[in-house]
Amino acid sequence: MRKQFGKIIAIFLICIMMVETVIASEDVSVHPSNGEKSIYTATGRDEELPDLLSQSAIVVDMSTGYTLVEKNIKDKLYPASITKIMTAILTLENAQMDDVVTFSYEAVFTVEAGSSAAYVDVDEQLTVEQCLYGLMLISGNDLANGLAEHVGGTMTNFANMMTDKAEEIGCLNTNFTNAHGLHDDNHYTTAYDMALIGKYAYDNCEAFKTFCSTGYYECQPTNKQPEIRYWRNNNRLINEYKEEYYEDCIGGKTGYTDKAGGTLVTYANINGRTLMCVVMKSANSLSAYADTTNLYDYVKEYVGQEVYDKFDEEYAKLSQSGEKETISSGNVSGTVDKVVLENDKDKDNANDGMWIGWKILILVVTVFIIYYVYVQYMRYQRRKRRRLMRMQRRREMEMQNRR
């Protein structure tokens, strides 16, 4: 019986591990589009939209926070290096430009091989300002590590600060595990949340505008590096020597990993308004640039002043009522849905609770079925052994009778 009980416990533990694996994979994995048409435009001209290679996209009017175009903006996706916008926010809010960052062994050598880096040395000292330029221009992952340790003490503490800040801003489906954006299954966000983060950085961190729009920077010699480092912005939309150069673009942050695909947050002056575009899960970096410029071109051609006038009117009303500012959908008719996405957070929490309940029920039923099958199997084995023992006795008796 002890052996049987041990087998039952082992089966039970295996079932728990299997269900926990399913739960973890569902909670943090990329949520793909459900295939339904989910594009919204302020003009209603869906048929004029370019074919987007990005799974998720949003274009926001920065003055009001209303969206001009949106596609699958609540899909959970991996952000890659646009993560560094949040890293810059926390650094600008918790450190001084002339603070000295001393790079630890972990900050230098925990960077994934082949990923973007400034190639700092252990115990090298850079100012926060130098680090932020390298963070935004060349997307230095070692610089992100150093800033995280400088501000948060450890990467874990800093990542928790990032997630808390995202929630404070109003993000609904964001979790950060690092300051650089290299892949982690539990490091995810949405285009909607990145729009909130990008808008917060642009509106509340004046220096951020400088860092994200600078095309070229010279990092002066340090205690470990006697030569000047020359850093050119990775964002091709603001580099006039690149084919992807877009004259209206005034800054942004690039990102790419194999699992995240191309990600891009940019700002542009279009028809007298400052706009922000977020694209995520594009085929690659080049397609992220193409989708961004196509979206800006669409807005430039089809969104007229009457749309912005309606946005301004609705925004003024909501501001007077004291309603919380957030990224919102709006259209020409003035129908503004400012609470749907926030209410969705409560719905998501409720749905998560329901799913956990169902998973527990499935686990209990699965264990019961396995236990039932096991008990029936053991009964069958006992009956089989008894039959064999009876047959053996008959043979022995027959042999004795013959003798």
Q: Which two tokens stand for residue 338?
A: 């400012």
294 and 381 both lie in a single domain: no
The arithmetic mean of pLDDT across residues 34-60, rounded, is 73
Say if 337 falls within a structural domain.
Answer: no
Contacts of 195 (CB under 8 A, 6+ apart): 58, 60, 67, 73, 276, 278, 327
235 and 370 both lie in a single domain: no
290 and 258 both lie in a single domain: yes
* pLDDT(59) > 80: yes
Spatial separation of the C-alpha atoms in residues 275 and 140, rounded to whole Å: 26
Tell me the average pLDDT of the chain. Answer: 85
Going by C-alpha positions, the residue among 43, 39, 41, 70 that lies closest to residue 57 is 70
The residues with which 279 forms a beta bridge, in sequence order, are 57, 264
The arithmetic mean of pLDDT across residues 212-230, rounded, is 97
Q: Is residue 260 within 8 Å of 283, Cβ to Cβ?
A: no
User: Of the listed 54, 74, 76, 81, which one is catalytic?
Assistant: 81
Say if 345 falls within a structural domain.
Answer: no
307 and 382 both lie in a single domain: no
Q: Which two tokens stand for residue 135?
A: 């963070």
> Predicted confidence band at 390 (pLDDT cuts at 50, 70, 90)?
confident
The pairs formed by 109-114 with CB atoms below 8 angstroms and a separation of 24 or more are 110/145, 111/141, 111/142, 111/145, 111/180, 111/182, 112/141, 112/182
Spatial separation of the C-alpha atoms in residues 176 and 28, rounded to whole Å: 11
pLDDT of residue 401: 78
Residue 95: φ, ψ to 5°:
-145, 160
Active site residue 139: yes
218 and 286 both lie in a single domain: yes
CA distances (Å), origin 353, targets 59, 75, 174, 345, 357: 32, 19, 18, 12, 6
Going by C-alpha positions, the residue among 182, 103, 111, 110 that lies closest to residue 147 is 103
pLDDT of residue 37: 39
Active site residue 347: no
DSSP structural state of residue 173: S
322 and 212 both lie in a single domain: yes
360 and 215 both lie in a single domain: no
Contacts of 329 (CB under 8 A, 6+ apart): 40, 66, 67, 70, 336, 337, 340
Q: Is residue 34 within 8 Å of 3, Cβ to Cβ?
A: no
Per-residue pLDDT tens digits for 261-303: 999 999 999 999 999 999 999 999 999 999 999 999 999 999 9
Say if 344 falls within a structural domain.
Answer: no
pLDDT of residue 326: 64
Alpha carbon 312 to its chain's center: 30
Say if 340 falls within a structural domain.
Answer: no
The arithmetic mean of pLDDT across residues 176-185, rounded, is 97
| Pairing mode of beta strands 328-330, 66-71 | parallel
151 and 66 both lie in a single domain: yes
pTM of the model: 0.75
Residue 61: φ, ψ to 5°:
-80, 115
Per-residue pLDDT tens digits for 4-42: 555 555 555 565 555 454 444 343 333 333 333 356 777
Cβ atoms within 10 Å, residue 25: 10
Enclosing H/E stretch for 273: strand 273-282
* pLDDT(2) > 70: no
Single-letter amino acid, residue 186: N
User: Of the listed 74, 76, 84, 165, which one is catalytic?
Assistant: 84
127 and 190 both lie in a single domain: yes
Picking from 299, 331, 363, the residue at the C-terminal end of a domain is 331
Contacts of 321 (CB under 8 A, 6+ apart): none
Q: Which residue has the tokens 């650094």?
A: 91
* pLDDT(75) > 50: yes
Angle 153-155-160 from CA coordinates, rounded to 5°: 95
CATH number, domain of 38, equals 3.40.710.10
Q: Is residue 81 within 8 Å of 256, Cβ to Cβ?
A: yes
Residue 4: φ, ψ to 5°:
-65, -45
pLDDT of residue 163: 98
Domain that includes residue 106, residue range: 31-331
Q: Which two tokens stand for residue 381?
A: 């084995």
Per-residue pLDDT tens digits for 105-129: 999 999 988 899 999 999 999 999 9
Per-residue pLDDT tens digits for 316-336: 988 887 765 567 664 433 333
> Predicted confidence band at 156 (pLDDT cuts at 50, 70, 90)?
very high
Say if 338 falls within a structural domain.
Answer: no
Say if 60 falls within a structural domain.
Answer: yes
248 and 378 both lie in a single domain: no
291 and 373 both lie in a single domain: no
User: Of the listed 54, 116, 139, 282, which one is catalytic?
Assistant: 139
Say if 346 falls within a structural domain.
Answer: no
The residues with which 264 forms a beta bridge, in sequence order, are 254, 279
* pLDDT(82) > 80: yes
> DSSP of 183-239, one letter per residue?
--TT-BB-HHHHHHHHHHHHHH-HHHHHHHH--EEEEPP-SS--SPEEEE-S-GGG-
The arithmetic mean of pLDDT across residues 240-254, rounded, is 97
pLDDT of residue 343: 44
- Overall domain count for the chain: 2
The arithmetic mean of pLDDT across residues 66-83, rounded, is 96
50 and 163 both lie in a single domain: yes
Say if 347 falls within a structural domain.
Answer: no
Active site residue 7: no
> Predicted confidence band at 361 (pLDDT cuts at 50, 70, 90)?
confident
* pLDDT(224) > 90: yes
Going by C-alpha positions, the residue among 162, 192, 191 that lies closest to residue 175 is 162
Q: Which residue has the tokens 């070229």?
A: 216
To the nearest 10 degrees (0 to 180), the angle between helices 141-152 and 128-137 is 140
Q: Is residue 280 within 8 Å of 54, Cβ to Cβ?
A: yes
Alpha carbon 282 to its chain's center: 14
Least confident among 67-76, 243-252, 303-312, 353-362: 353-362
